């Protein structure tokens, strides 16, 4: 399993709608509205790096109102 | 009370209109056009972090011409 | 209560040590090593914005090896 | 007169000391600790762009613990 | 007089057109296409900070295809 | 010859299509989807700096779905 | 297998030494000096995300002169 | 010939010294102190991309007080 934090920027005024929609997607553990350079922090889990990429590109990024996502895979050092 | 500086980026050519419109919103103390990576600096005050988020998302970001806002809450250390 | 994600950059080679040390601090719920522009993502909780600032500045930032922290308070919109 | 916001990054753990020291300098109207990508927001005033540069370089940047400053001059459009 | 470098980002594929159009504006000394995080570097001169702001906002930013400008005023230290 | 890495940001959901289209262009050696602040990394080769600029602006940037490119020319030190 | 591009920033004047040292490490396919916001681009391969993290943190980052690394894992979408 | 703008960040308080020292180097046409995210803008000229890299790494970066340089080669599109 690969876990990741996905830092999301949204169109102005869309942060709450995006967080709600993302939170209900499969593979998404949690989605929080935040202030700062990012608008929503999403915690996800997938079977591997490719599945993680697919989850973000085909899943999270399909939510209307998202302008950029930055995926930070968790590593166990 | 929570105070914050909101660093605003606007569409090209819209900085002056945005600053004027933002300056008249409730909760906004001041809005200045600036040069540099940001176009307008807004000083705001709200009852708490959630009210601050609502003020920025539902209020400031509703002004046409704003493309990104970066909220920096003031902390008393 | 105010929750926040703290995105941490560390000196090269120090990410694992920083994550372990941060994870044991009071107010810290979790700390994960990540790849990307940040090295560690920390989830914290505090009584308010000022307590959050104190937790980050006096607490998290006192861990050796941290070079920058970016605090993203969670807001309920 | 030229006014400016100076967005300051400090060494970890030094934000409060920097804000206090900067606030007492001539030409500085106010200095606030903030969370986010910057640590202190400083409001300054000077006689012109060159005096503003001198105030920031010779004045603000002489405070120990400051690692980067980003000066955003206010413009009246 | 205030001189400045204006670092311009353009829509993809528009850098050459933007550089040519900007180079012919009053107050613009030179405009070069570059590679890197910016697409065009413009050298400008104006009577003061406010005139510089007006030149960039009302002038340079009126060129179609520009998405962001970052103005760096020259200071004599 | 000048070689370069071109770091590409795409519209959300377009990374795979962009990588496939870019990979087939003349002058492009390879194009990989990546996670992080960039979406696609492209390796290119051209006859000189100007040809490299033309390849990126007239070639790569003509692919639909690309929002920003950052060209990093390889240097032999 | 997980492949990745590691974008490296070095201390000023150290780019060539870093590229040479990194290029000889196990798991590293290639390392190029570049101009732009990064100084060296490294191509690596590892057995998984955790091995990739270990390769970067315990391996690449142990080279003297590196100040920041940004790991961009390749994904097959 | 390849021309470039080199955007320089310096240690706090060192911008003026750096600009003066850089301005006297061979290959450097001009160096200006600026405010904003960069501290000095340098205009250089070299025989090619490799010579440009050498000029920046072996030349400009050897000046004490420089912490980062960002080289933007000029391209004729």
The answer, yes or no, to whether residue H1 has pLDDT greater than 90, is: no
Q: What pLDDT digit, counting tens, does each position of C21-72 carry?
A: 999 999 999 999 999 999 999 999 999 999 999 999 888 999 999 999 999 9
Mean pLDDT of chain F: 94
Quote the tokens at residue H47: 């025989």
Q: Cα(first)–Cα(last) distance of chain B, in Å?
A: 15
CB distance H54 to F54 below 8 Å: no
Binary contact (F9, A68; C-beta < 8 A):
yes
Q: What pLDDT digit, counting tens, does each position of D25-66 carry?
A: 999 999 999 999 999 999 999 999 999 999 998 889 999 999
Side-chain half-sphere CA neighbours of F21 within 13 A: 15
Q: What pLDDT digit, counting tens, does each position of G44-53 carry?
A: 999 999 999 9
Question: What ipTM goes with this model?
Answer: 0.94
- Measured CA to CA in angstroms, residue B57 lies from A6, A20, C5 at distances of 20, 15, 19
Render the burial of G11-36: b for 16+ CB within 10 Å, e for the rest: bbbbbbbbbebbeeeebbeebbbbbb
Q: H interface mutation test: which of F73, F74, F76 has the most H CBs within 10 A?
A: F73
Q: What pLDDT digit, counting tens, does each position of H30-70 carry?
A: 999 999 999 999 999 999 999 999 999 888 999 999 999 99
Contact residues, chain C, for F36 at CB < 8 Å: 35-37
Long-range contacts of B29-33 (CB under 8 A, 24+ apart): B32/D3, B32/D5, B32/D74, B33/D74, B33/D75, B33/D76, B33/D77, B33/E53, B33/E57
Residue A1 pLDDT level (bands cut at 50, 70, 90): confident
pLDDT for B77? 84
Quote the tokens at residue B35: 């040069």
Binary contact (B61, A37; C-beta < 8 A):
no
Q: What pLDDT digit, counting tens, does each position of F28-59 carry?
A: 999 999 999 999 999 999 999 999 999 998 88
Summary count for chain D: helices (H), strands (E): 2, 4
Q: Which of residues 20-59 of C touch B (CB under 8 A)?
A: 48-50, 52-54, 57-58
Within 8 A by CB and 6+ apart from F69, the residues are E12, F6, F7, F8, F9, F56, F60, F61
Calculate how close chain A gets to D7, using CA atoms only, in Å.
14
Q: What is the CA radius of gyration of chain B?
A: 12
Q: What is the CA radius of gyration of chain C?
A: 12
pLDDT for F24? 95
User: DSSP label at H77?
Assistant: -
Of all residues in chain B, what percent carry a pLDDT higher than 90? 92
Q: Do chains F and B touch (3 or more CB pairs under 8 A)?
A: no
**Torsion angle in degrees (nearest 10) through CA of E4, E9, E13, E19:** -10
The answer, yes or no, to whether residue B67 has pLDDT greater than 90, is: yes
Residue C77 pLDDT level (bands cut at 50, 70, 90): confident
Calpha distance E39→G23 (Å, rounded)? 31
Of all residues in chain G, what percent carry a pLDDT higher than 90? 92
User: DSSP label at G60?
Assistant: G
Residue A35 pLDDT level (bands cut at 50, 70, 90): very high
Residue C3 pLDDT level (bands cut at 50, 70, 90): very high
Quote the tokens at residue A52: 């993680």
Bridge partners, residue E33, by sequence: E40
The answer, yes or no, to whether residue F23 has pLDDT greater than 90, is: yes
Mean pLDDT of chain B: 95
Within 8 A by CB and 6+ apart from H57, the residues are F77, G12, G13, G15, G16, G33
Side-chain half-sphere CA neighbours of G28 within 13 A: 25
**Whose CA is closest to D66, among C17, D31, G77?**
D31
CB count in 10 Å sphere of residue C17: 16
pLDDT for F77? 84
Helix (H, G, I), strand (E, B) or coil at H53: helix
Contact residues, chain H, for G35 at CB < 8 Å: 4, 49, 52-53, 56, 71, 73
Bridge partners, residue G59, by sequence: none
Q: Do chains A and D touch (3 or more CB pairs under 8 A)?
A: yes
Render the burial of B25-58: b for 16+ CB within 10 Å, e for the rest: eebbeebbbbbbbbbbbbbbbbeebbbbbbbbbe
CB distance H28 to H58 below 8 Å: no
Residue G57 pLDDT level (bands cut at 50, 70, 90): confident
CB distance F18 to A72 below 8 Å: no
Q: H interface mutation test: which of E8, E31, E69, E72 has the most H CBs within 10 A?
A: E72
Give φ, ψ of D23 to 5 degrees: -60, -20
Mean pLDDT of chain A: 95
Within 8 A by CB and 6+ apart from B2, the residues are B45, B46, B47, B48, B49, B51, B52, B73, B74, C49
Calculate how close chain D gets to E8, using CA atoms only, in Å.
17
pLDDT for G44? 97
B·D CB contacts under 8 A: 60
| CA E52 remoteness from chain centre | 10
Contact residues, chain D, for A37 at CB < 8 Å: 36-37
F·G CB contacts under 8 A: 60
Mean pLDDT of chain E: 95
pLDDT for C1? 87
């Amino acid at each position: 399993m690969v876990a990741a934090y996905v830092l999301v920027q949204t169109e102005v005024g869309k942060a709450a709608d995006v967080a709600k929609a993302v939170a209900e997607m499969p593979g998404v553990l949690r989605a929080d509205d935040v202030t700062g350079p990012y608008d929503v922090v999403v915690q996800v889990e997938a079977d591997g790096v490719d599945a993680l990429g697919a989850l973000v590109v085909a899943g999270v990024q399909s939510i209307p109102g998202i302008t950029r996502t930055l995926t930070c895979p968790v590593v166990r050092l």
